[in-house]
Amino acid sequence: MAKTSMTRRNLVKGATVAGVGAAAAMLAGCANDAAQTAAQAAVKPVILVTSFGTSYASSRHSTIGAIESAIRERFQPTYDVRRAFTSDTIIDILKERDGISIDNVDEAISRCIDDGVRTLVVQPTHLMEGYEYTDLADALEKVRDSFDDVVLGRPLLDTQEDLDAVADALTEELADYDDGSCALVLMGHGTESDANGVYAALQKTFDARGQHQFFVGTVEAEPTCDDVIRAVTEAGYTRAALSPLMVVAGDHATNDMADRNDPESWVSRFEAAGIETTCILAGLGQYAGIDSIYVDHVSAAIDSLKG
């Protein structure tokens, strides 16, 4: 009997120890889960500002950098503001030439996932809902399940309200050239997608406001440079100021628009048509009125989040 009692006591003791161990493990597991939840909660939501990019350092800081700074000023410290470029060519140039590493979109999204980010707001600096914008939307759709909330902000020229705001900003910024005898020519990039219609929409916006001194054209679509020269000439202007309708004043602005040594550049073609021409090498991102539109689009995107 004594042995039986001793054995029984040992079994009970063993069971008690095992129970304590299991309980301790459970508590440890709960503590780990709580710590993980707290760690995830501590990770800030991210605003990822995506741009095509530019290899022109000064323009990069004064345009893309200015847009990012305006967004950062409005939404930090609640949000972490990050950068991604969509052009792998630009990314490679910056890395090889300047030793600057910038994420492409996939890398930036993967970094957010690895960091435990649960809310992602992506704000492109694209002007319109063209091919690059739809590619970005597709990329986000593939990783939607990796986040609690994912939202894509709207491009610059999205609504009539945006068109009016852009017209206001450009009117203010180009006021020094608007002396009544100078045509104000805006050179956009252009696209084969249906989104190219925003250039005509912006032209109609200026015309509806009675600002017939503004002329909108594109490098790679319509209206063409020849179309704009014809319109400027028919309106009776013999002077023009050319300005890029692009976020950055990079390669297109420097070469396609302002290179006087290239007979095919816009400045050369305007002057060949007898129009005295001035070039303004400033991207849209340098204008505070434009930056504020992007900020408003981020705000609208945040307002649309499920939470």
Q: In this structure, how many other beta carbons lie within 10 angstroms of the beta carbon of residue 168?
A: 14
Q: Please report the DSSP string for 70-124 in residue order.
A: HHHHHHTTTSEEEEEES-HHHHHHIIIII-----BHHHHHHHHHHTT--EEEEEE
What is the β-pairing status of strands 239-244 and 182-188? parallel
Please say whether the dihedral angle defined by the alpha carbons of residues 14, 17, 23 and 28, taken in this order, is positive or negative: negative
d(CA 256, CA 245): 13
Task: Assess contact for 156 and 290: CB atoms under 8 A.
Answer: yes
The residues that are catalytic are 189
d(CA 120, CA 151): 7
